[in-house]
Structure 1
Amino acid sequence: MILLQANQIARLFGAEVLFENLQLEISSRARIGLVGRNGAGKSTFLKIIAGIEAPDAGTIAKNKTATMGYLAQDTGLISNATVWEEMLDAFAAVRIIEKRMRELEIAISESNPNTANYQTILKEYDRLQHDFSEKNGYGYENEIRSVLHGFQFDASFYDQKIATLSGGQKTRLALAKMLLQSPDILILDEPTNHLDIETLAWLEGYLQNYSGALLIVSHDRYFLDKVVTEIYEISRRKMRHYKGNYSRYLDLKAEQLASDWKAYEKQQTEINKLEDFVARNLVRASTTKRAQSRRKQLEKMDRLDRPQGDEKSAHFLFDIEKPSGNIVLQVEDAAIGYSIEEILSEPINLDIRRKDAIALVGPNGIGKSTLLKSLIGELPFIRGEVTFGANVATGYYDQGQTNLHHNKTILQELWDEHPTTPEVEIRTALGGFLFSGEDVDKPIALLSGGEKARVALAKLAMNKENFLILDEPTNHLDIDNKEVLENALIDYEGTLFFVSHDRYFINRIATKVIELSENGSKLYLGDYDYYLEKKQEEAEIAALLEEKTVIATVSTGKQNFQQSKEQQKALRNLQRKIEKIEEELATLDEEITAAETKMTEPLVLNDHVQLNELNQFIETAQQRQEHLMEEWETLSLELEELT
Structure 2
Amino acid sequence: MLEIKNLTLTHQKDLKDLVKNLTIVVNAGDKVAIIGEEGNGKSSLLKLMMDEALIHGYIDFEGDIQRDFSTYVYLPQQLPTELEGLSLNDYFFADFEQELDYAKLYRYAQELHFDSQRFTSAQRLADLSGGEKLKVQLIKNLATESEIFFLDEPSNDLDLETLTWLENFIQKTEKTVVFVSHDESLLAHAATKIIHLERIKKKQEARTQVVNLDYHSYQKERRASFDKQEKTAKKEREEHAKSMEKHRRVKQNVEHSLRTTKDSTAGRLLAKKMKAVLSQGKRFEKEAANLTELPIQEEAIALRFAEVEALPLSKRILQLEKEKIEIKGRCLADSIKLSFAGQDKIGIIGQNGVGKSTLLKQMYQKLQGRADIRIGYMPQNYEELLKDDMSPLDFLAPSADKAERELVLSRLASLQFTRDEARHAISHLSGGQKAKLFLLKMVLQKNNLLLLDEPTRNFSPTSQPQVRQLFREYPGALIAVSHDRLFLKEVCQKIYCLSETGLEEVAKEHI
Global fold match (TM > 0.5) = yes
Is it true that 1:397 corresponds to 2:358 in the alignment?
no
Q: Could you tell me how far apart the structure 2 residues matched to 1:58 and 1:513 are? A: 49
Q: 1:244 aligns with which of 210, 213, 218?
A: 213
2:103 corresponds in structure 1 to: 142
**Residues 134 and 154 of structure 2 are in contact (CA less than 8 Å); yes or no, is this contact kept in structure 1?**
no
Is it true that 1:364 corresponds to 2:349 in the alignment?
no
**Offset of residue 432 of structure 1:** 3.3
**Offset of residue 93 of structure 1:** 8.4
**Offset of residue 79 of structure 1:** 8.7
Change (3 A) 1:390 1:410: closer
Q: How does 1:471-620 map to 2 (within 5 A)?
A: 471-524=453-506, 527=508, 530-532=509-511
2:439 corresponds in structure 1 to: 457
1:433 corresponds in structure 2 to: 415
Larger radius of gyration, structure 1 or 2?
Answer: 1
2:64 corresponds in structure 1 to: 59
Aligned residues: 445
Is it true that 1:355 corresponds to 2:357 in the alignment?
no
Instruction: Using CA pairs under 8 Å that are at least 6 residues apart, name the structure with larger relative contact order, 1 or 2.
Output: 2
1:254 corresponds in structure 2 to: 223
**Going by fraction, where is helix more abundant, 1 or 2?**
1
Q: 1:314 aligns with which of 295, 301, 308?
A: 301
**Residues 321 and 466 of structure 1 are in contact (CA less than 8 Å); yes or no, is this contact kept in structure 2?**
yes
Q: 1:5 aligns with which of 3, 8, 16?
A: 3
1:129 corresponds in structure 2 to: none
**Offset of residue 316 of structure 1:** 1.1
The amino acid of 1:58's aligned partner reads G
**Offset of residue 339 of structure 1:** 7.5
Change (3 A) 1:249 1:462: same
1:446 corresponds in structure 2 to: 428
TM-score between both structures, scaled by the size of structure 2: 0.76
Is it true that 1:217 corresponds to 2:196 in the alignment?
no
**Residues 83 and 91 of structure 2 are in contact (CA less than 8 Å); yes or no, is this contact kept in structure 1?**
no
TM-score between both structures, scaled by the size of structure 1: 0.62
**Going by fraction, where is strand more abundant, 1 or 2?**
2
Gaps of 5+ in 1: 96-139, 272-302, 379-385, 533-643
Q: Tell me the SS of whatever aligns to 2:462.
A: helix
Q: Could you tell me how far apart the structure 1 residues matched to 2:77 and 2:328 are? A: 37
**Residues 332 and 349 of structure 1 are in contact (CA less than 8 Å); yes or no, is this contact kept in structure 2?**
yes
**Offset of residue 516 of structure 1:** 0.9
**Residues 397 and 456 of structure 1 are in contact (CA less than 8 Å); yes or no, is this contact kept in structure 2?**
yes
The amino acid of 2:65's aligned partner reads I
Q: Could you tell me how far apart the structure 1 residues matched to 2:328 and 2:292 are? A: 67
Overall identity of the aligned pairs, in %: 25
Change (3 A) 1:75 1:319: same
Q: Tell me the SS of whatever aligns to 2:194.
A: strand
Q: Could you tell me how far apart the structure 1 residues matched to 2:345 and 2:505 are? A: 13
Change (3 A) 1:145 1:417: farther
**Residues 324 and 390 of structure 1 are in contact (CA less than 8 Å); yes or no, is this contact kept in structure 2?**
no
Q: Tell me the SS of whatever aligns to 1:20.
A: strand
**Residues 5 and 63 of structure 2 are in contact (CA less than 8 Å); yes or no, is this contact kept in structure 1?**
yes
Q: Tell me the SS of whatever aligns to 2:376.
A: strand
**Offset of residue 172 of structure 1:** 3.2
Change (3 A) 1:268 1:390: closer
Is it true that 1:183 corresponds to 2:183 in the alignment?
no
**Residues 82 and 161 of structure 1 are in contact (CA less than 8 Å); yes or no, is this contact kept in structure 2?**
yes
Q: Could you tell me how far apart the structure 1 residues matched to 2:398 and 2:238 are? A: 53
**Offset of residue 205 of structure 1:** 2.1
**Offset of residue 92 of structure 1:** 6.5
Q: Tell me the SS of whatever aligns to 1:465.
A: coil
**Residues 34 and 195 of structure 2 are in contact (CA less than 8 Å); yes or no, is this contact kept in structure 1?**
yes
Q: How does 1:38-117 map to 2 (within 5 A)?
A: 38-51=38-51, 52-53=54-55, 56-63=61-68, 66-76=70-80, 78=83, 83=88, 87=92
The amino acid of 2:340's aligned partner reads I
Q: Tell me the SS of whatever aligns to 1:371.
A: helix
